[in-house]
Amino acid sequence: MELKKKIITMARGAQEASRELALVPTELKNKTLVAMAKALAEKKDFILAQNKKDVILAQKKGFSGSLIDRLILNDKRIYEMSRSLMQVASLKDYVGETIRTWKRPNGLIISKVRVPIGVIAIIYEARPNVTSDCIGLCLKSSNSVILKGGSEALNSNIAIYKVLKDVAEKFKLPRNAINLIDTSDRKAVDILLGLNNYIDLVIPRGGESLIRSVAAKSKIPVVKHYKGICHTYVDKYADIDTALNVSFNAKVQRPAVCNAMETLLVHKDIAKKFLPEMAARFKAAGVELRGDDNTRRIVKGIKKAADKDWATEYLDLILSVRVVDSLDEAIDHINTFGSKHSDAIITENKKNASEFLKKVDSAAVFVNASTRFTDGYEFGLGAEIGISTEKLHARGPMALEELTTYKYTVFGDGQIRQ
């Protein structure tokens, strides 16, 4: 009961703070974000020391290499966290923007105006940088935030939260606008998901099991960030060097994230030329290949892909490879097995590129570029709360604009409806 009372009090406070935060001027929000970015750099040693505790514990518990990679902070990642907050500060503030205004024949003047969503609860796993990204985005969009990170990153999350909370208090922002549930008790999530009187939106970030669990239990609307089964299709009109470099980057640069490639599709007319060199590069990087029969005839000694491989998010140095007969077959494979996240075509044929862009039903579709670019920062959006694979309200990187809703303001001079 004590935990439930604590979380209800937090949510109630966040709701009250959200009403005050909606009135905070852009200039003050930006100054706070810049100060937060500097504080992350200044308090780097403190944050890294707390992160080290989490990493050591994760290693002792035998967590997977991909999870530990997501958990680890270092100088570069803290710099990226700081840089992300600086970029958010530099971006447009959508709160209060008039989307459009029109006048009715009866004289009513109607405007559609952007407003904050209100209180956003974010439930996430492993990646401590989510803590600072979400605080920054919610602050800029004038939403109160309640963070519930995974137990594996508890020390890291608390450290980052403390650094940023201190800055918010220094700039006299509403006291309960930024909140962190600092317990590993799993009951906290169930309590949080029942507080629809106080919380307006829930965003889960993590594995598929977490997201499905949150969606099933929540009494609050949920924007889902499902798994990233991302594809790269090497068309018969592909430039070989481009195909080699983009495919390698999409799989190897950081395999444990949702925008990494999990399946490589190759047109039959280019497969014999492309696959041997591509396979050699992947082998040198430690990538395990699992191919269909046509792939295995070209690349000897690799595993046979099972049916389940085409629908698997490995988050590891494992890649499924299939040779296809046509562009249509590649598109059909992606729309059948993909997760509507990010998919790419490598081609010099403009007609094929256009057809791929139109027919692939994913949040982000690329031509001659790595799927690893599906990211709020890389899209110039500062950071993102998550990559939505939904179609309603937000799709793809969910950043500042997607963290607003709208209301209608109506001015009259005594009109009554007949």
Residue 356 has pLDDT above 90, yes or no: yes
Q: What is the pLDDT of residues 259-300, one digit of tens each?
A: 999 999 999 999 999 999 999 999 999 999 999 999 999 999
Single-letter amino acid, residue 175: R
Top-level CATH class of 230-373? alpha beta
Say which CATH architecture domain 2-225+398-411 belongs to: 3-Layer(aba) Sandwich (3.40)
Could you tell me the CA-to-CA distances from 63 to 32, 123, 126, 150, 384 in Å, in that order? 36, 20, 11, 13, 26
Q: How far apart are CA 178 and CA 13, in angstroms?
A: 10
Please return the burial class of 410, using the count of CB atoms within 10 Å of its CB with bins 0-12, 13-18 and 19+.
exposed
Confidence of residue 211 (pLDDT cuts 50, 70, 90): confident
For the chain, what are the domain ranges?
2-225+398-411, 230-373
With residue 250 as reference, give the H or E element that holds it. Answer: helix 240-252
Structure token pair of residue 121: 């609860």
What is the residue-wise DSSP string for 330-359?
Answer: HHHHHHHH--SSEEEEE-S-HHHHHHHHHH
pLDDT tens across 61-87, in order? Answer: 998 887 888 899 999 999 999 999 999
pTM (predicted TM-score): 0.84
- Supply the pLDDT for residue 65: 83
In the predicted model, is pLDDT for residue 125 greater than 90? Answer: no
* pLDDT for the residue 394: 81
